[in-house]
Chains A and B, each alone.
Chain A
Amino acid sequence: MDSIEIQKDSNFIAELESTLENDGPYSSWELFSMAYQAELTTMTPEFKGLRALEYLPHIQFLDHQIDAAEQVIETMNGRAILADEVGLGKTIEAGLILKEYMIRGLVKNALILVPASLVNQWVRELNEKFYIPAIAHRKNYNWDQNIIISSLDTAKRSPHREKILDIEYDFILIDEAHKLKNHKTKNYEFVRSLKKKYCLLLTATPVQNRLIEIFNLISILKPGHLGNYESFLENYGKGRNQIKQDAYLKQLIQKVMIRNTRKNTTLNNTKRNIETVWIDFKPEEKEVYQDLEETASTFSSFSKITFLREICSSREACYLSLKKLMDEGNGESQIQPIISKIEQLPHHAKAEKLVEIIKQFGDEKVIVFTEYRASQLYLQWYLKQHGISSVPFRGGFKRGKKDWMRQLFQNHAQVLIATEAGGEGINLQFCNHLINYDLPWNPMRLEQRIGRIHRYGQEKDVHIYNFATKGTIEEHIMTLLYEKINLFEQVIGNLDAILSELNISSMESELENIYNESTSAGEVKIKLDNLTSIIQNSIDETQGEQSYGYS
């Protein structure tokens, strides 16, 4: 009892006295007793449990989301890493936790740091779903607002930095926290110096690639939980193999990290239907493709691959790159004839296929992903010729424009044509058809694309169509890489961990190297075979340690 601090209400009786002296104003019995009833209604009579659920009757929470929120509040005491796989609703979990703390009066002010492109989305989710009056930070705003959302990049810069570091926050949330895995960065140093009570770190990328990275994240929440830096390195080294062997370490990590995977949640309900759509080049297109392949000597092998990939996507994409190369004064004699041929090409076989497939959907929404800006523009124009409305989407769009395009798509257009960077941070669950017009060479990006629609909130089965042109580089990638390691069916949440363990920093350059260093198609095949079997092998190995957090 002695160690408990007691705070009394020292103002009440004096205020009552002065009200009596002034002879009022007095409450009527009815309103007086209603205020008492209101307090009885809003108080929280139990230490445990989520009161927030009664406050949010319009949200259908999934079991794993409620479990996660309870676990963070009740056993992790408000400091945790939420590392669910993409699309399982980390934002929902975080919102629920924040709401619960606010209802219990434990959080009055909060700082929420998210990537700049997601600020508006966070504001919208917290306002509309959770009735949390969060606001986006704008120029000249004070940082001591109740619930404020900003980007880490803004917050860490002067003069914001100094002001923020002066404030004691009840709650700090950092989205995309894998940016903090390196303790030598400004981001890391900044986040560590924030004054905070509760703290959530959100990341979709499994951070268990490198033990030292997880050590760094945990040191923000609970310094010393995994020992100090020196002892940790000594015991576990920098690798990640240790983690499998060390059940104790795994247990320690589970005390601060929650990782739900699709496997252990109920989200399996909506299925992914994957279909490969093969396209045959028209003879003219085939000729250009072969010309490009044969003029190899002129181009650096890197650009050769690029041109081949481009011609599989659209005339326009390839034309622009070739033209650029020529304008820079290279190989005019070889390029000019190809360019002339490209100019004569009819509409692209793939584009025709695209129209055909979209028409089959009736008026259902479709997202089309392409790797190239030029193809994006071409497709927009080409769809319009066939009476199909579409909106473009690019990573380079400003926040407001992204929101606007998303709305246009939801309410007016049938198709959203996105380039690669558009894949991140926009939720399109209202759509369940996705067409990979051309395949990325980085499987992580593929997962991000699919994650836009196959995520929490999707109510229908998701249909994914992968376009690939026969007899081209696309066929190789499709059959030798993607189909072989079953990338479409299984969620590849842990693929980047696997790649980094195999020391493959970029899948894309790995593939380019294979093409560049091989002299024949047979050699390419053998090398791709090797690569896929190594990856497949690692996937099998890591299946066992998949479920990281509680399960």
Chain B
Amino acid sequence: MAIANLENFLQNYFIFHRCEILENEDGLLKIQLTEEMDRALMNRPFYWHYIKKIGQKGEPMQLTLITNPEKREEKGDWVHFGSPRLQQIINHLKENEKFTRLFQKVSADKNTAMYPWLVVNLKISYKGKHKKDEVISIGLQLVNGKMRLEMMDYLKELPLQTAISDYCYTISPLIRLQSGYKRIEAVISNYLENQTHGWAEESIETLHEEIQTLKHFYEGRTEEEEQMQKEIEEIKERYQPVISCEVINGGLFYLTE
């Protein structure tokens, strides 16, 4: 589900933020920003402060994004995976799209029950000498306790909306959110425990080696105890293996089963 087509991704981003697309041709995207998006992306707080102070409406700017490298000489921001503009948009997404509550869209003519699912998208980072990430998407049905992995791929196939469909009603969760989340954490812990962590062993080995080397360096130099402790801390900071779990986003989904 990673971004495959940058052009579409950008276009959708602005459409879903209710911006008007003025031009979209051959890797050149021209957008009329809304006030909200101007404030989020254009970094001109003083303008907005001033314009509101004098009681004006203000004029949001237009933005031109270029995804076609052959057009990078044209006026606008050349956007690629490392460009500051894309980083800004990605950060804006990560900060603002953390929580949701959605309903599966059904066209029913009789009463239909909707079951609550807790959906959590997690990033697990393994950090020792080096670092890697893994993303896991988990859903937990809060009535019968059923768990589903790769939940986002599953949801992708369903029509989802922010309001409940006609004739539908929600079933109250039997499992509280907090305990549901604990179950998910337990599954993750279990998953981590069942892996072999060669990377961590290597890292700890290097950690011990370097501390040994360091101690040898300071042998007989008691006056430098403080410096040595500082350096030992630095070595630990650098090599101590850590696994961190960070929630990317999540929410409550009401689905037909």
Q: Which residue of B lies closest to A56 (CB)?
A: B82
**Residue-by-residue, is B190-228 near A (CB-CB < 8 Å gives 1, otherwise 0)?**
001100010110001010001001111111010000010
Instruction: For the complex, count residues of A whose C-beta is within 8 A of B.
Output: 68
Say whether A57 contacts B69, CB under 8 Å: yes
Complex partner residue of A40 from B84, B96, B135, B206, CB under 8 angstroms: B135
A521 adjacent to chain B (CB < 8 Å): no
Instruction: For the complex, count residues of B whose C-beta is within 8 A of A.
Output: 87
Say whether B247 contacts A4, CB under 8 Å: no
User: B31-39, B48-56, B237-245: which lies at the A interface?
Assistant: B237-245
Say whether A38 contacts B93, CB under 8 Å: yes
Residues 40-90 of A at the B interface (beta carbon under 8 Å): 40-48, 52, 54-58, 73-74, 77-78
Q: What are the residues of chain A within 8 A of B243 when measuring CB–CB?
A: 4-7
User: A15-23, A240-248, A347-355, A403-411: which lies at the B interface?
Assistant: A15-23
B102 adjacent to chain A (CB < 8 Å): yes
Complex partner residue of A193 from B162, B227, B252, CB under 8 angstroms: B227
Q: What are the residues of chain A within 8 A of B13 when measuring CB–CB?
A: 31, 34
Complex partner residue of B93 from A35, A73, A223, CB under 8 angstroms: A35
A32 adjacent to chain B (CB < 8 Å): yes
Say whether B101 contacts A26, CB under 8 Å: yes
Q: Which residue of B lies closest to A24 (CB)?
A: B101
Say whether A33 contacts B156, CB under 8 Å: yes
Say whether B3 contacts A46, CB under 8 Å: no
B59 adjacent to chain A (CB < 8 Å): no
Q: What are the residues of chain A within 8 A of B156 when measuring CB–CB?
A: 33
User: B22-30, B107-115, B124-132: which lies at the A interface?
Assistant: B124-132
In the bound complex, what is the Cα–Cα distance between A219 and B213 (angstroms)? 11
Say whether A31 contacts B16, CB under 8 Å: yes
Say whether A5 contacts B123, CB under 8 Å: no
Q: Which residue of B lies closest to A8 (CB)?
A: B245
In the bound complex, what is the Cα–Cα distance between A25 and B251 (angstroms)? 11
Distance in angstroms from A483 CB to nearest chain B CB is: 47
Complex partner residue of A5 from B83, B87, B242, CB under 8 angstroms: B242
Q: What are the residues of chain B within 8 A of A16 when measuring CB–CB?
A: 99, 177, 250-252
Say whether A27 contacts B249, CB under 8 Å: yes
Distance in angstroms from B162 CB to nearest chain A CB is: 6
Say whether B245 contacts A196, CB under 8 Å: no
Name 19 extra pairs, CB < 8 A, besides A36-B249, A131-B82: A1-B193, A1-B197, A4-B200, A6-B242, A12-B181, A13-B178, A26-B99, A27-B251, A28-B100, A31-B97, A47-B130, A48-B130, A55-B80, A57-B81, A77-B206, A77-B238, A197-B237, A222-B210, A228-B216
14 contacts between A and B (CB under 8 A): A4-B241, A26-B102, A29-B160, A31-B17, A32-B97, A32-B249, A34-B12, A39-B94, A44-B131, A44-B133, A47-B199, A106-B127, A106-B131, A193-B227
